[in-house]
Amino acid sequence: MSRVQRSSLQLAGIAITLVAWEIVGRIMGETLFAPVSVVAKEYLELLRDGTMLAELVGSLRQMLVGFGLACVLGMPLGIAMGRSRVCDVIFHPWVSMFVVISVAALVPLFLLLFGSGFEFRVAIVFMASAWYIVLTTYHGARGVEPRFLDVAHSFGASGRHVFWKVLMPALYPYLITGARIGVVHAIRAMVVAEMYVIVGYGGLVHKTGLDVSTAPLLGLLLSLMAVSLFSNWLLRLAGEWLAPWYKARTAAA
């Protein structure tokens, strides 16, 4: 499928969705599901007011701290688990347990441990995203073909050179994929944490949800979707830059 055909289908899908949204919204009314025309007007008002953007920027700064910690700690742990049988046996059961725990269930405990400030939100974001990064990196590290490592060793490469010149390039696509999965969970966790303590962007979502009209709430949710898509797009570009051969291989497949 050509790029023009793909873009045409995507635009057609968006247009159909917007038309269906408008029709359903007019049938159900603003109280239950505001039509897209009303949401667009309310969204412009939110942009003019400036509160939405200010809260979003502030929340994303704190989210990036938790997400950054998840990447810095999660990626090395995933590599260690994938390349070391001992690390795998020790850490895999814990990672498997943490990845299925809902962050909403951890909120009361973390409020007691960290209070309701910066540390609380960073901890929630970290717990929501780290384990997906660990598992994705782990499966990538386990899947590195031994023959690549054997060839490097046969040419006299040291362990450090094998790690940076063979293992890490093979892991780049998995590191980026783990980060792309993790950032989505990080954004979700940011909103959940802030809705509990009614601060930041999540607090704004909570307060807006109490309005008679659902239009402002839908506008805030659309902003979150846009941020998630933009974050994934940036990480995808980073992946294509770090591992251009992987893009060529998947495109050929």
The pLDDT tens digits for 103-145 are 888 888 999 999 888 899 999 999 999 999 999 999 989 887 7
Please give the pLDDT value at position 253. 45
- Chain-wide mean pLDDT for the chain? 87
DSSP string across 139-203: HHHHTS-HHHHHHHHHTT--HHHHIIIIIHHHHHHHHHHHHHHHHHHHHHHHHHHHHHHT-HHHH
Confidence of residue 213 (pLDDT cuts 50, 70, 90): confident
The pLDDT value given to residue 248: 57
Q: What is the mean pLDDT of residues 29-35?
A: 86
Say if residue 244's pLDDT is above 80.
no
Listed by start position, the domains of the chain span: 1-33, 35-252
Q: How confident is the model at residue 252 (pLDDT cuts 50, 70, 90)?
A: very low
Task: Tell which wins on pLDDT, 169 or 139.
Answer: 139
State whether residue 105 is helix, strand or coil.
Answer: helix
Write down the pLDDT at residue 143: 82
pLDDT tens sequence across 224-234: 999 999 999 99
The confidence band for 208, taking pLDDT boundaries of 50, 70 and 90, is: confident
Residue 219 reports pLDDT greater than 60: yes
Distances from the Cα of 187 to the Cα of 63, 67, 113, 204, 227, angstroms: 7, 9, 22, 15, 9
CATH number of 35-252: 1.10.3720.10
- Higher model confidence: residue 4 or residue 134? 134
pLDDT band at 162 (very low <50, low <70, confident <90, very high): confident
Residues 6+ apart with CB under 8 A from 219: 39, 42, 43, 46, 52
- Residue 150, Cβ neighbours under 10 Å: how many? 11
152 or 63, which is more confident? 63
pLDDT at 95 over 90: yes
pLDDT confidence of 81, banded at 50, 70, 90? very high
